[in-house]
Amino acid sequence: MKILILLISVLFTQTVTAETLKLNYSLFFSYMKTMYKLDYQHVTTAFYLVEQSSKGVCEIDKAEAVVDDKRDAIEFEKNGRLLPFYSDEHRKDGAMIEVETVEDKSCALQVTLMAKESELNNITFEKLSLVTTELEGVLRKNAGMIGKYFLPSYKGLRFKLIHPLDETTLPSGYSLANNGDLLISNDVIKSSKASQVLAYQTIRITPWIGK
């Protein structure tokens, strides 16, 4: 199910031995279609290229949607993020996305459900409440009517911080993941004052999924 990809950020290992990575456009389209249907304002599905062994960034040099001899440029950020356009015509035509990376690395696609970058400034707990509700909504939508009953527990939000915390500086009610990410439960988010501002500079907000 697509939901498992979002939950654990599975790496899609397609064509990994050369500088040109070929990916099926329909994969991107299916995630974008979900977001278009839900019309959420605070969250998005992001597509990154990462090196398979180190999980480091694969910098992008060029990206195109290819159908037969026709090529259309795909927007991207050099830090490895692809920004494909939404086109049902390209899906129907069986388009492929061809990506040229800066270095010859073994790269793969990582799909990440996260808060929009525009939400990372002045993060109030009112905003976090909206973000966590929308993230859970996308997870359930991707799981489908039956799959949503088998989802792991959705505990709250995971924060990658500019300045990581340690146990000695951790506020009461917060916890840390094994990789140092800050974890805040839905219960804490709901019980906090809506106007309270998160005291940490944040790079990314993603779902906190239990086992």
46-59 pLDDT, tens digit per residue, is: 999 999 888 889 99
Can you tell me the distance from the alpha carbon of 84 to that of 64, in angstroms, rounded to the nearest whole number? 9
Q: Which two tokens stand for residue 86?
A: 């939404």
Q: Which long-range contacts (CB under 8 A, 24 or more apart) does 67-75 make?
A: 67/93, 67/94, 67/95, 67/96, 74/99
CB-CB neighbours of 67 under 10 Å = 16
pTM of the complete model: 0.84
Q: Which residues pair with 67 in a beta bridge?
A: 70
Contact 89, 83 (CB under 8 A): no
- In order of their start, the domains of the chain are 2-114 (2.60.120), 117-209 (no CATH)
> Mean pLDDT in the chain?
88
Task: Determine the pLDDT at residue 11.
Answer: 43
| Predicted confidence band of residue 28 (pLDDT cuts 50, 70, 90) | very high
The predicted-structure confidence for 150-207, as pLDDT tens digits, reads as follows: 778 999 999 999 998 888 888 888 999 988 999 999 999 999 999 999 999 999 999 9
